[in-house]
Amino acid sequence: MSALTHFHAAGNAVMVDVSGKPETARAATARVSVKMRPETLRMIVQGQAKKGDVFAVARLAGIMGAKRTAELIPLCHPLPITAVTVDLAPEGDDAVAIAATVKTTGRTGVEMEALTAASIAALTVYDMCKAVDRGMRIEGLRVVEKSGGASGQFRQD
């Protein structure tokens, strides 16, 4: 494993200088699950949540989150995001699966933007359903795919 890049020799936190890196097409996908009671998932799928269409609102929230990542994560570079997709779907009878993919052409990757999009979408599902299911759990947030840049392709389940 390489050294941590967000610290200089004296140990102080720094934003990594990417000015010498070439611009390349980059993409990252993050996944997360929101575990819930089966009746909560049925409510979502049947469109009966009192706050509205849970999947539509969470999708928009995830997209907005990706675009605001540099404001939330102190050492993240603001990036010209070229695409964001946030997909939500039932997973079994007791979970919502969320996948967020972010793309850019730039000097640094979009893993943090994908993780933020997935996280914000999951938090929005929780927020919209917490009145009926306070026991929901957000689980398994991870980057599952990354492409572009010097480190190349990365994939995991």
pLDDT tens digits for range 106-146: 999 999 999 999 999 999 999 999 999 999 999 999 999 99
Distance CA 14, CA 3 (A): 14
- Closest among 153, 54, 151, 74 to 116, alpha carbons compared: 74
Cross-strand bridge partners of residue 142:
31
Distance CA 14, CA 101 (A): 27
Q: Model confidence over 28-65: pLDDT tens digits?
A: 999 999 999 999 999 999 999 999 999 999 999 999 99
pLDDT recorded at residue 1? 41
Residue 151 banded pLDDT, cuts 50, 70, 90: confident
Cross-strand bridge partners of residue 25:
105
pLDDT recorded at residue 14? 78
- Closest among 108, 80, 92, 96 to 15, alpha carbons compared: 108
Catalytic residue from among 17, 53, 87, 127: 127
Q: Is 87 a catalytic residue?
A: no
pLDDT recorded at residue 22? 87
Distance CA 157, CA 155 (A): 7
| HSE of 76, CA atoms in CB hemisphere, 13 A | 20
